[in-house]
Structure 1
């Protein structure tokens, strides 16, 4: 009985494929360890005594478990517990996310479906704003919000997002372009207005893009440090990202254990959102721009 040439080649290639797969998984695992090590170190440091965190920084195993770091950290600084800071972060994240996603979806629908004068010019302006570094706009925005009397409030951190986010506009617009225009025409025949087409036809079909924009907005607003630092000067208004620096004191002993404990807790919402909605992130990004 003769064995075909293709079968012989497959037999020869199988050991090579196994070796390449083993090497691939080893390399990927090493990269994963390198990337996750800072998080593991932070979690381990949250369970170490304060004087041991940097004295034995090379080890992840505490000599003694200090769960009191979470108790002292949650008690916060002064009269404000970390429950206040988590509440402040929730207010900022929820309102800014709702504003950015809703406004960006409406603007994206206008660019993708509604013809109007100067459409190419305004879309170019949106793309130019998306490419501007944040540092370029910090000073003009601060001067504008100062003249409006919005300093020491959440308005500069929330209100601008109700006027659209360039990246989300581009993301959702590309998703809308994948929807056949014939659906719009059919809805018009049935008597739908532009608003009816948007809310009844477009919005249900672009749900993956909306979820993707929501997740990105959640991440960006939750970890935002610069904007709260610029516009908030009262500790009772601080979000979690800004409140963590209160554990550091240049004149006395810094509470590193409490800071790492609260930093670990601040990652819980981020991790939960990622694992719950990761399929929408992949779907929303992978189908964006496909025609």
Structure 2
């Protein structure tokens, strides 16, 4: 198995170099594989196609897509059935956990990756164990779901390094089925992380895909993620009181007035972030309207993050 020495590669993404360096520092060897998986998000059908559907049309489905921000996992195989895991985002919360037999308590950040790798081990993939280091490039407060892309990056990396040692390769379709059967989560977001295509939306049920709709054959629309800064980490909008809810509702209303075509939650339930879809020429006007709305409500200026629809998870060589 060829080691991936990204830490010394000056042309590599700096965050991937940092991850590879953290892995080598922690485990005394470079990783055998580094995989990145994109953050994924949902767009409600009503956000993509405003207005009632034609009478003869099939019921609308929500859409999912991969974003131009990622989580990454660095892995090397072991042969003793143990998972040693660490995170750049939680440097004081590393762990050594068994992949077979009774499960051990895992740090909060590692609970989902641990469940994924135990499920893969139970299915015969990666039972020998692994050293694992991960990094999420966006803070939780941004509001994009991180669990599903992290699961995909970890599972792809583990399957990769064990296949390099002679194990049966695990296809992405098989991986999606294993994750869907073994670990609770949003199957649509996993599909986006595993099968996303640049510039295209995937049906959440996996049935079809389409480009981001551009009215009147104009340029592709822009996506802007609006996140209230006042919500507590990990909480939803209700945790923050009426003030933030009012500011967010006001900002959305004024964004629509300023030219945004739609607003929807990026995850499966309402939270503190809203995804705005707009013509690219209205982006500056929408940003200004959103910022002014929060200032009038005496709240901090929200985070505004441009989102581009990108491709699925990939190995970093």
TM-score, normalization by structure 2: 0.19
Greater fraction of residues in strand: 2
When you count helix as a share of all residues, which structure comes out higher?
1
The structure whose Rg is larger is: 1
Q: TM-score, normalised by structure 1?
A: 0.21
